[in-house]
Amino acid sequence: QVQLMESGGGSVQAGGSLRLSCTASGDTYSSNCMGWWRHSPGKEREGVARINTRDGTTSYSDSVKGRFTISQDNSNSTVYLQMNDLKPEDTAMYYCAAEAPFGSPWAGCRFGSWGQGAQVTVSS
């Protein structure tokens, strides 16, 4: 089982940038995918970015493509989400996620281990 610890987030004005970090511990070798999801009130939880931890390939939702970048540092088992040109509609709780059997499917992976969440608030 993988444990995930997020950091970063906060409040920013529209057009600003934030970076989220997620450090994994435990059985990290069984997770081929790491990703970021978000959930805002009144909306369904959605996947926004994921990275294949073996080959570094990435995938993004249409709503963040070109503005968000997911990356990894395998030396310290950390995944990052750089968020640029933030918009008020990006306001949400952001969750780091790792691959797990029978998890929620998105972008070719199943996500079943979750961090505690990091709030991102973008004001207009």
pLDDT bracket for residue 117 (50, 70, 90): very high
Taking residues 6-16, report their average pLDDT: 96
C-beta atoms surrounding 83 within 10 Å = 26
The tokens for 72 are 């990894």
The tokens for 16 are 């600003």
Q: Please tell me the distance from the alpha carbon of residue 35 to that of residue 98, in angstroms, as a whole number.
A: 6
> Mind listing the pLDDT tens digit for each residue in 27-71?
777 788 999 999 998 999 999 999 999 999 999 999 999 999 999
The tokens for 63 are 């709503």
Q: Please tell me the distance from the alpha carbon of residue 12 to that of residue 46, in angstroms, as a whole number.
A: 21
C-beta atoms surrounding 120 within 10 Å = 22
